[in-house]
Amino acid sequence: MWCSGLAGLTATYGLNLNVLQAWVIWNLCNVENKMISVERILQFSDISSEAPLMIENCRPREDWPNHGTIEIDHLHVRYNPSLPMVLKGISCTLPGKKKIGIVGRTGSGKSTLIQALFRVVEPSSGRIIIDGVDIAQIGLHDLRSQLSIIPQEPTLFQGTVRTNLDPLQQHSDSEIWEVNMKIIFLLNIVVCISMSKFTDIVRTFRL
């Protein structure tokens, strides 16, 4: 028969078992999460670098693109060498200064085409020519700084109105204000929150 002391010791360890089990499980989950971070770092370390921002001997004109004609010549795009082609031999010409709509079902490659225009995804073969310039031959900064995209959702980054309008600090205050004058909706917002260019986005805008 068990003595009372042994029974008390068993009860004490039994009560602490749940706490010990929870501690072990928490540590196992924490180690697993840390290992996922290591896996992500290893994956990112294998990603090849993007093309140079500027290529001195292949820089476009300062007024490029002045017309906006886009020629797509047998464009093939895939996200990974082991994955199938997303865009398969597309050839078309989009005239400049026109509004062009691209429609298709989900997964048909509409977003991939936009990514190819900005060279977020490099084509496997084929060319994209904008106003006579092959975009694969110029630097990424020269390309992306001359193209604009309107996102589907209105997003403002934390900071000031000034930094959201000109994140690269490439324009003067007078130039930015001149553009604002042409946009009535944005002008009304800016006037309502005062004329200060340092107004805090987080405290002012609630989208």
Q: Assess whether 32 and 96 both reside in one domain.
A: no
- The pLDDT, as a whole number, for residue 192 is 61
Question: Parallel, antiparallel, or unpaired for β 87-94 and 133-134?
Answer: unpaired
| Domain range enclosing 79 | 56-144
Going from the C-alpha of 17 to that of each of 10, 30, 31, 88, 109, the distances in angstroms are 10, 20, 21, 61, 55
Q: Assess whether 93 and 134 both reside in one domain.
A: yes
Q: Assess whether 101 and 168 both reside in one domain.
A: no
116 burial (CB, 10 Å; 0-12 / 13-18 / 19+) is: buried
- The pLDDT, as a whole number, for residue 75 is 93
Q: Is residue 26 part of a domain?
A: yes
- The pLDDT, as a whole number, for residue 207 is 39
Q: Assess whether 177 and 116 both reside in one domain.
A: no
DSSP-based three-state secondary structure for 163: helix
Q: Is residue 120 part of a domain?
A: yes
The answer for residues whose C-beta is within 8 angstroms of residue 100's C-beta and 6 or more apart is 94
Full-prediction pTM beyond 0.75? no
Going from the C-alpha of 192 to that of each of 14, 36, 179, the distances in angstroms are 66, 47, 17
Q: Assess whether 42 and 64 both reside in one domain.
A: no
Q: Assess whether 131 and 90 both reside in one domain.
A: yes
Q: Is residue 174 part of a domain?
A: yes
Q: Is residue 149 part of a domain?
A: no
- The pLDDT, as a whole number, for residue 133 is 92
Q: What is the CATH number of the domain that holds 118?
A: 3.40.50.300
Q: Assess whether 67 and 107 both reside in one domain.
A: yes
Q: Is residue 85 part of a domain?
A: yes
Give the span between the Cα atoms of 46 and 167, in whole angstroms: 30
Mean pLDDT of successive 10-residue stretches along the chain, which has 207 residues: 65 75 89 86 82 87 89 92 89 90 88 92 92 92 88 80 82 81 63 55 46
Q: Assess whether 110 and 77 both reside in one domain.
A: yes
Q: Is residue 113 part of a domain?
A: yes
Please compute Rg for the chain using Cα positions. 28
Structural domain count, the chain: 3
